[in-house]
């Protein structure tokens, strides 16, 4: 270290301390901040207090990567819920921040819909909370209600309501698995549900967690959903959660997956193919007087190459022939823009 005090400076400092506080010189002017190489920091640099009780263990790039990942989750989850509920369900990311686990649990209402999600092969457990303001309208929708004059009860969910909420959580798990597959294949599974979040302790109270807040809208009803991700769960993947590398990997993975899916569907698609023997002009009177056995003269030789059209577009050049009693078209080569066939 370049800034270690030598022995004379240490002796002078100890002598000043032993002689009393009056001997220790303190700058009576304003406080100035210096860098490690003793250069003063300019006044236009913003200096903020650092709270060691709330260390930010996830960088800004990794937070942006998590936000992008859960935006993909929200779109997939919204589509799955819309199909399940037979109505439009909007899901979007509202906030993402770091806090301690105790701050997260004390910010939630009681009672609420609080579920624990196992994350194999990662160590630890994530948790998801859905506000009663939106979960009861969803349950009412599943039971055939209209949500017109729905009363939000202040009580824990019943056993029947928890079975219906389980259908919602199953679709959330599917969307989570699809979103996280671009980083690491994870088998998410809902293991437990609780109405009072304060009673759940998946990590120590002062442990840092990443909380992703979602906004859910269904018709005239709206509510929130929160997903708590402890740091120890994503710690093995923290290096992969840089925004640039994850986004590039996501684009590559999605492109390859989409190309494979389209290719599988196109294999069974049917196309109309045709070939033009020749073209010429004819008078309308001759066309009206055509009979069986009449000949139409063209300027194209019988041995001239023909073009094969697929879906109305010229693609190949070949010859017309006969094979086992059937008329066939033999492809010679691909049609190029310079061909005048």
The domains of the chain are located at 60-262, 273-334
Instruction: Please report the DSSP string for 72-128 in residue order.
Output: HHHHHHHHHHHHHHTS-EEEEEEEEEEEEHHHHHHTS-SS-EEEEEEEETSSSEEEE
Model confidence pTM above 0.85: no
Asked if 214 contacts 90 with a C-beta cutoff of 8 angstroms, the reply is: no
Cα–Cα distances (Å) from 206 to 117, 202, 209, 237, 268, in that order, read: 20, 12, 9, 22, 57
Token pair of 15 as six digits: 């002598």
pLDDT at 50 (0 to 100)? 58
pLDDT at 23 (0 to 100)? 47
pLDDT at 48 (0 to 100)? 61
**Considering just the CA atoms, what is the radius of gyration of the chain in Å?**
36
- Residue by residue, pLDDT tens for the chain (341 residues) are 446 677 777 777 777 766 655 444 554 555 566 555 565 666 555 666 655 555 567 778 888 888 888 998 999 999 999 888 888 889 999 999 988 888 888 888 888 889 999 988 888 889 999 988 888 888 888 888 777 777 888 888 888 889 999 899 999 999 999 888 888 888 988 888 888 888 888 888 888 889 999 999 988 888 899 999 988 888 888 777 765 455 555 555 556 777 877 787 787 778 888 887 888 888 888 888 888 888 888 888 877 888 888 877 888 888 888 888 888 888 888 888 777 76
Name the architecture of domain 273-334: Roll (2.30)
Cα–Cα distances (Å) from 207 to 130, 230, 231, 237, 331, in that order, read: 22, 8, 8, 18, 69
Name the architecture of domain 60-262: 3-Layer(aba) Sandwich (3.40)
């Amino acid at each position: 270290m370049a800034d270690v005090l030598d022995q004379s400076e240490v002796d002078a400092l100890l002598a000043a301390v032993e002689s009393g506080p009056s001997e220790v010189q303190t700058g009576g002017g304003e406080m100035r901040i210096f860098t490690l190489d003793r250069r003063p920091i300019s006044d236009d640099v913003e200096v903020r207090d650092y709270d060691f009780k709330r260390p930010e263990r996830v960088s800004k790039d990794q937070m942006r990567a998590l936000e992008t990942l859960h935006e993909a989750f929200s779109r997939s989850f919204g589509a799955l819920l819309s199909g399940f509920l037979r109505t439009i369900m909007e899901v979007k990311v509202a906030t993402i921040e770091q806090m301690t686990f105790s701050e997260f649990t004390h910010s939630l209402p009681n009672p609420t819909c609080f579920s624990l999600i196992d994350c194999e092969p990662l160590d630890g457990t994530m948790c998801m909370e859905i506000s009663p303001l939106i979960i009861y309208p969803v349950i009412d929708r599943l039971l055939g209600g209209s949500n017109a004059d729905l009363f939000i009860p202040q009580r824990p969910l019943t056993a029947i309501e928890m079975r219906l909420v389980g259908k919602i959580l199953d679709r959330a798990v599917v969307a989570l698995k699809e979103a996280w597959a671009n980083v690491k294949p994870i088998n998410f599974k809902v293991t437990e549900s609780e109405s009072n979040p304060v009673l759940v302790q998946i990590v120590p109270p002062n442990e840092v967690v990443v909380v992703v807040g979602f906004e859910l809208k269904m018709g005239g009803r709206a509510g929130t959903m929160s997903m708590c991700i402890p740091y120890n769960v994503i710690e093995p993947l923290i290096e992969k959660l840089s925004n640039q590398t994850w986004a590039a990997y996501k684009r590559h993975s999605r492109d390859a997956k989409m190309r494979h899916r389209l290719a599988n569907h196109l294999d069974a698609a049917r196309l109309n193919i045709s070939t033009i023997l020749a073209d010429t002009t004819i008078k309308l009177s001759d066309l009206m007087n055509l009979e069986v056995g009449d000949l139409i003269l063209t300027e194209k030789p019988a041995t001239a190459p023909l073009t094969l059209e697929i879906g109305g577009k010229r693609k190949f050049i070949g010859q017309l022939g006969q094979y086992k009693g059937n008329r066939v078209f033999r492809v010679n080569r691909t049609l190029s823009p310079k061909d005048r066939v």
